[in-house]
């Protein structure tokens, strides 16, 4: 169970890094809006997953 939470945290950090990545001046600069959208979605989804796991754990005890 703890490993799943660590994977969620790592995915949340990856989402933040996708939001902050600077692709200006590279051949990938046209993908910057997509990386931002994917990053925001990852942050939202994995934040909700962590909240759900926390609430589920809280009410099981």
Contact 11, 44 (CB under 8 A): no
Each residue of 5-47: pLDDT tens digit? 899 999 999 999 999 988 888 998 899 999 999 999 999 999 9
Read off the pTM: 0.83
Domain map of the chain by residue range? 2-60
Contact 15, 40 (CB under 8 A): yes
Other residues' Cβ atoms within 10 Å of the Cβ of residue 15: 20
Q: How confident is the model at residue 38, as a pLDDT?
A: 95
Rounded to 5, what percent of the chain is helix, strand, coil?
85, 0, 15
């Amino acid at each position: 169970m703890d490993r799943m939470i660590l994977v969620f945290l790592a995915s949340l950090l990856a989402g933040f890094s996708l939001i902050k990545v600077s692709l200006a001046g590279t051949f990938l600069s046209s993908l910057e809006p997509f990386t931002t959208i994917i990053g925001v979605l990852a942050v939202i989804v994995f934040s909700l997953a962590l909240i759900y796991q926390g609430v589920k754990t809280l009410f099981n005890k």
